[in-house]
Structure 1
Amino acid sequence: MIRVLLADDQHLVRSGFRVILETEDDIEVVGEASDGLAAVERAAQLRPDVILMDVEMPGVDGLEATRRITASTGEDGPAVLILTTFDRDDYLFAALRAGASGFLLKTGTPEALIDAVRILSRGEALLDPQLTRRVIATFARPGEVTPQRTADLGELTPRENEVLVLLAGGCTNAEIAEKLFLGEATVKTHVSRVLAKLGLRDRVQAVVFAYENGVVGPSRG
């Protein structure tokens, strides 16, 4: 059973999400929060698998709440899916840097929301391909990237570095396997090792990390 926490300052929105999700046999809404501080507290109390997080909430907003939750729980914590009505790049980039594993607009379909919850519950990341292109385009602009974290890239093997570069280009496991002449199972193992060595939660964070730390850029991406 996938345990979900809803964080949104609008009661009707939370009720709508609850109705959508609880029609599924494998999803259970275990709690709600009407602001970011309550979301942080409820996340610690309820230990959900996935948190649906609004951005604009009173007091502590959804981005700060996401930072606090991911910082305190690490890789074993809940996956945060940012849901917002605002299609703004600054929200998108801030959400990814805060540790969110997914970003969806509230204008999407109920089916898309259900699929997103299941994807994040499996430890995978979710970002619309159009948004991925925007992330890459922004991080590829010279002079616009300031490293947000440091890591020993020297820990990566040559093959793992190749995998990271392809991840940053938005390649799927199947595409990486084709480009490197490897089996998909082997690629999955390499991806897991890259994430573990760099302390990253998922593929989305790998894209951000690669551009922020100069692994790829305009001349290589």
Structure 2
Amino acid sequence: MEKMIKKPCMGRQKISIVKISKKNHLQVTFSKRRTGLFKKASELATLCGVEIGIIVFSPANKAFSFGHLDVESIIDRFLSRNPQPDSGANRLIKAHRNANIHELNMELTQVLSQLEVERKRGEALDKMRKASRKQCWWESPIAELGSRELEQLRMALEELKKKVAEQANKIFVESNNTSFFKVNAYENKTKPHDQSSVASSSMYKYWLV
């Protein structure tokens, strides 16, 4: 027998970065990447308590922006290179905002923990369900059973048929015995009455003679 030629493992290949030629594919890819980028920026701003601004351009040169807290103020501050003086009101606003961000981070951590617990619970339930299906394989559709399960099912049905026939025969015999005993009891009950009738008729004949 000829040895099977093993395919050489190519490993992780480098994907060349080229522009997508089809416009429809390009637009769909841009929409997905833009949504993912804005989502990551929002998570970063919430978790770290930073101000962030992003501007992206679509293949049709349409601008899309995201900013936390306000994209215009962030852009103006970036372009002017002159940060506004930090007054007492601004410090109070920042402190309040940081407190809110800290509270939101705690809630987010708690929700993520609950989500992880529910995910593990769902996986455990799936495993239990699969194990239950394996144990109760006879409840599956016949088309999904293998040759081994079909043979076991056939033997089980034959055994069930045998037991049903034995039980039916037993019930039939018991019902016949019950009917026989009822007939005998009825005959025994009526026999004394018949003998007395015969005796009385004989005496009647004797007196007549």
TM-score of the superposition, structure 2-length normalised?
Answer: 0.18
- By percentage of residues, which structure has more helix? 2
- By percentage of residues, which structure has more strand? 1
Query: Who wins on radius of gyration, i.e. which is larger?
Result: 2
TM-score of the superposition, structure 1-length normalised?
Answer: 0.18
Q: Which has the higher contact order (CA 8 A, sep 6+)?
A: 1
